[in-house]
Chains A and B, each alone.
Chain A
Amino acid sequence: KNQVEQSPQSLIILEGKNCTLQCNYTVSPFSNLRWYKQDTGRGPVSLTIMTFSENTKSNGRYTATLDADTKQSSLHITASQLSDSASYICVVRTGGYNKLIFGAGTRLAVHP
């Protein structure tokens, strides 16, 4: 069964600190993996996308890694800001355009 599991479920950090969110997937065939940021009550917005051959991808203070062998991805946030408070969702695409497998997300709270 295709699944995407994220950890931790929730995380609280202080402003300025770094954090790493984890994503493990059992999806086949694998097409690509995206990390989305979803602010409360809003739609998700894409942060990064990685294909099978890419190990790392950065978008400002966000850096995503992908290990296709172990089927793990991580999202590292550097020097967190209050505006980073949101849910971060890992999404794996398998096959056609409608085949997206969503993780349940990690809810991040950045406190001053």
Chain B
Amino acid sequence: SQTIHQWPATLVQPVGSPLSLECTVEGTSNPNLYWYRQAAGRGLQLLFYSVGIGQISSEVPQNLSASRPQDRQFILSSKKLLLSDSGFYLCAWSGAVSNEQFFGPGTRLTVL
């Protein structure tokens, strides 16, 4: 069966510090991968998606970047965090046939 992991689960970082969140998927090959941010009281916002290694599409301009160094690894990064980067970050995957997205457990990021 397929599983999706995210770490860390929670993170508290000072403004201006770098960020690296990791997402890995097991039990599937060549998944589509997604990074979302969920702000309190608002719907999930798609940040990035990837259809293959090294292929990243950005949905909104922002302070963040994404990379896919391996087939089942998706990384969300920032060089300098802003207060507005605080939120709940969710990684998701979908298969080539089914468009259902399966979400990871999420990372709660607090920027102070």
A interface residues, Cβ below 8 angstroms from B: 4, 9, 31, 34, 41-46, 49, 89, 93, 97-98, 100-105
| B→A interface (CB under 8 Å) | 32, 34, 41-46, 49, 57, 59, 88, 90, 92, 94, 99-106, 108
Bound state CA distance, A44 and B103, in angstroms?
6
Q: Which of B45, B49, B104, B108 contacts A98 (CB 8 A)?
A: B49
Provide the main secondary structure of the chain B interface.
Answer: strand
Q: How far is the CA of A98 from the CA of B46 in the complex (A)?
A: 8
Given contacts A4-B43, A46-B102, 15 further A-B contacts (CB under 8 A): A9-B41, A34-B100, A41-B108, A42-B105, A43-B106, A89-B43, A97-B32, A97-B99, A98-B57, A100-B46, A101-B43, A102-B45, A104-B41, A104-B43, A105-B43
